[in-house]
Structure 1
Amino acid sequence: MSTPSQMLRLVVARAEPAARGIRRFELRDPHGGELPPFTAGAHIAVRTPCGAMRQYSLANDPAERDRYVIAVKREDAGRGGSRSLVDGVQAGDRLDIGAPENRFALDARARSVLLIAGGIGITPMMAMLAELAADGTRPFQLVYLTRDAEGTAFLDELRRPEWAPNVVVHHDGGDPARAFDLWPLLEKPGSASGRHVYCCGPKGLMDAVRVMTGHWPASAVHFESFAADTAAHADDVPFEVVLARSGLALEVPVGRSILEVARAHGVSVPSSCESGTCGSCKTRLLAGEADHRDLVLLDGEKADHVMVCVSRAKGARLVVDL
């Protein structure tokens, strides 16, 4: 398995519930040393106990050099990475961690910032709140949307006096009629005011924000997602993948990826996140039509490339350049 180029072996200093179905992990150097610095919005790759690599946003103050904090939602319908972390990792365990990377950084040009989070999408926003509050020069607001208080991570921290006046936490109880109305916050584009929007959360929330910010400058609206379509679909069926370089034909069953099947047969494939978000496993598609489930490929690439960590076949057979 390919992994991020810089791996750290860190100790789990704390592992505790953060909300219903969410567990918070505090990671430290086992010798008490400083960790590589990061900026708000950064994430780390984590090798989970089941062997899969997953990416998680850093949720603590970027000024802290002695720890990383992540929050992991247990995904029952996922492929086991989050379950192995939530169910199997305790304080005192060691985890392999990639160095921080940032594709969701606060834009220095933003004169004010609106943060919109849904569910576990709060994690990068926690670091952003800390960085914005410490900076003190840019007005900011967080709107955090969840079903109920029991499923709301970091609720106590969000009540801190220096943050609370800028934080709105809304519970809709799962009732669409009680959904928070974002339109008054997004109706006026941020081009004149220098306002930027950052959104992280479920696909439905991000799709809604995309629609409501369609009239905003693209450079002022930022999205982060580690939620590619990794869950099995009810209509998934096995299919055949042919590895063109060797001619090897393999069956990809429901619940397993092309990457996993190829690796099980001794084929080395570059990979990192294994969740359709990083692009490491992009592979040329030579024949067949892919069922694309990643967040990486551009529309112009989908006819002749496939992300083998998550995507499947629309027909009975794919031929890939492996």
Structure 2
Amino acid sequence: MRVAQKRALTEQIAEFTLVPLEDANLPPYTAGAHVTVKTPSGAMRRYSLVGGTSDSSKYVIAVKREPQSRGGSASMHDMATEGTDLLVEPPENDFELTDVSEYLLIAGGIGVTPIYAMAQELERQKKRFKIIYCTRSQNETAYLDEMTVAFGDRILIHHDDGDPAKVYDFWDHFAEPQTTHVFCCGPQPLMEEIRAVSGHWPEGRVHFEDFKPVEVVRADDVAFDVTLSKSGKTVTVPADRSILEALRDSGHQTVSSCESGTCGTCKTRILKGEAEHRDMVLMDHEKGDHIMICVSRAKSGDLVLDL
């Protein structure tokens, strides 16, 4: 696909309108869906689709430049200019809307992207819904004007100014279990808060979208070496990079998709060494001789991989 338009939503969030290189209708999608994009850095990243689901001529995504970017978001901001071609996988949806009478949509920061798409779809269906949208400040609130105009008093905007004492109190919305279904997307503290206050609700009424299920790099990680058995070459994996990233940085071709330990694409056989597994894919009987190189590391010492 090609970047047909790029516009700044905030200082750190950019919107990209992607169109196919050939004149063809794109695969359809439903509200809450995401696409996986091969960013200019080579990193594969998932981004929620923002635009209306009925337009088959384009996909619209919004990307936040992460402060600790591992290459994906920074390269989208710095290198994906209008006219740039990007490899985009067909839409997937792990965050489907349910068919109920009333909804509460909760967004935190860049987590607004699937929530905005859901609100547009619920508006089209004439369903009842409310939105709670939490950000640090007005200047950091993507789609503020559009959503305020579109949804009026059905949207509540809350800014906490980065002060923990000003974080929005969700308890009143969850004190008594409701038939309302809740859809929440945002940073980990927000997700944990909603899980905590909704623990007494019936199962299946509160839904979450989280693109960071695995902590790829941790503070106590150390560097180690990976030897590629087919070429005999050895690559050092720094403490702040994954095996996959280190291989890519050194010019080795890698096969990957989610790069978050959830899809299984980069599954690799271990010929020597022991892995510290951080993925959500491998079965117990596979962990002795396989590793997901996008997130997992050497437990101690070095590794020899069947690459």
- TM-score relative to the length of structure 2: 0.87
**Kindly tell me: are residues 165 and 262 of structure 1, through their superposed partners in 2, closer, same or farther at Cα, counting changes over 3 Å?**
same
Task: Give the corresponding residue for 1:114.
Answer: 104
Name which of 95, 120, 139 aligns with 1:130: 120
Conserved in 2, the CA contact under 8 Å of 1:200 and 1:206?
A: yes
Name which of 281, 285, 297 aligns with 2:266: 281
Conserved in 2, the CA contact under 8 Å of 1:146 and 1:172?
A: yes
Task: Give the corresponding residue for 1:189.
Answer: 177
Conserved in 2, the CA contact under 8 Å of 1:23 and 1:86?
A: yes
Query: Which runs of no fewer than 5 residues in structure 2 stay unpaired?
Result: none
Q: What do residues 193-243 of structure 1 show as CA deviations (whole Å, max 9, x unaligned)?
A: 2x2111111111111111222222332221111124566444331024466
- For 1:319 and 1:187, the matched residues in 2 are separated by 53
Task: Give the corresponding residue for 2:187.
Answer: 202
- For 2:91 and 2:200, the matched residues in 1 are separated by 33
- For 2:144 and 2:232, the matched residues in 1 are separated by 54
Instruction: Tell me the CA shift for residue 32 of structure 1.
Output: 5.1
Task: Give the corresponding residue for 2:205.
Answer: 220
Q: What do residues 9-37 of structure 1 show as CA deviations (whole Å, max 9, x unaligned)?
A: x2212101111211111112345543221
Q: Which amino acid aligns with 2:174?
A: L
Name which of 75, 79, 86 aligns with 2:70: 79
Q: What do residues 125-146 of structure 1 show as CA deviations (whole Å, max 9, x unaligned)?
A: 111011000001x311111111
Name which of 243, 249, 252 aligns with 2:237: 252
Task: Give the corresponding residue for 1:171.
Answer: 159
Correspondence list, 1:81-160, <5 A: 81-108=72-99, 110-136=100-126, 138-160=127-149
**Kindly tell me: are residues 291 and 175 of structure 1, through their superposed partners in 2, closer, same or farther at Cα, counting changes over 3 Å?**
farther
| SS of residue matched to 1:235 | coil
Query: Relative contact order: is structure 1 or structure 2 higher (C-alpha 8 Å, sep ≥ 6)?
Result: 1
Correspondence list, 1:11-30, <5 A: 11-30=2-21
Instruction: Tell me the CA shift for residue 272 of structure 1.
Output: 0.5
Q: What do residues 131-177 of structure 1 show as CA deviations (whole Å, max 9, x unaligned)?
A: 000001x311111111001111111111124x122111100001111
**Kindly tell me: are residues 251 and 133 of structure 1, through their superposed partners in 2, closer, same or farther at Cα, counting changes over 3 Å?**
same
- For 1:214 and 1:299, the matched residues in 2 are separated by 28
Q: What do residues 43-90 of structure 1 show as CA deviations (whole Å, max 9, x unaligned)?
A: 011111111111100011112222211000112312101111111111
Task: Give the corresponding residue for 1:6.
Answer: none
Conserved in 2, the CA contact under 8 Å of 1:57 and 1:70?
A: yes
Conserved in 2, the CA contact under 8 Å of 1:148 and 1:171?
A: yes
Conserved in 2, the CA contact under 8 Å of 1:117 and 1:200?
A: yes
**Kindly tell me: are residues 69 and 232 of structure 1, through their superposed partners in 2, closer, same or farther at Cα, counting changes over 3 Å?**
same
**Kindly tell me: are residues 261 and 87 of structure 1, through their superposed partners in 2, closer, same or farther at Cα, counting changes over 3 Å?**
closer
Q: State the identity %.
A: 46
Q: What do residues 103-143 of structure 1 show as CA deviations (whole Å, max 9, x unaligned)?
A: 111012x221111111110011111011000001x311111
- For 2:208 and 2:42, the matched residues in 1 are separated by 28
Conserved in 2, the CA contact under 8 Å of 1:12 and 1:25?
A: yes
Q: Which amino acid aligns with 1:290?
A: E
Name which of 272, 276, 280 aligns with 1:290: 276
**Kindly tell me: are residues 308 and 155 of structure 1, through their superposed partners in 2, closer, same or farther at Cα, counting changes over 3 Å?**
same
Conserved in 1, the CA contact under 8 Å of 2:217 and 2:242?
A: no
- For 2:300 and 2:277, the matched residues in 1 are separated by 9
**Kindly tell me: are residues 41 and 189 of structure 1, through their superposed partners in 2, closer, same or farther at Cα, counting changes over 3 Å?**
same
- TM-score relative to the length of structure 1: 0.83
- For 1:134 and 1:13, the matched residues in 2 are separated by 26
Instruction: Tell me the CA shift for residue 274 of structure 1.
Output: 1.6
- For 1:104 and 1:311, the matched residues in 2 are separated by 26
Conserved in 2, the CA contact under 8 Å of 1:79 and 1:231?
A: no
**Kindly tell me: are residues 300 and 117 of structure 1, through their superposed partners in 2, closer, same or farther at Cα, counting changes over 3 Å?**
farther
Instruction: Tell me the CA shift for residue 247 of structure 1.
Output: 8.6
**Kindly tell me: are residues 178 and 70 of structure 1, through their superposed partners in 2, closer, same or farther at Cα, counting changes over 3 Å?**
same
Number of residue pairs aligned between Structure 1 and Structure 2:
305
| SS of residue matched to 2:158 | strand
Instruction: Tell me the CA shift for residue 298 of structure 1.
Output: 8.2
Cα RMSD, aligned residues only: 2.9
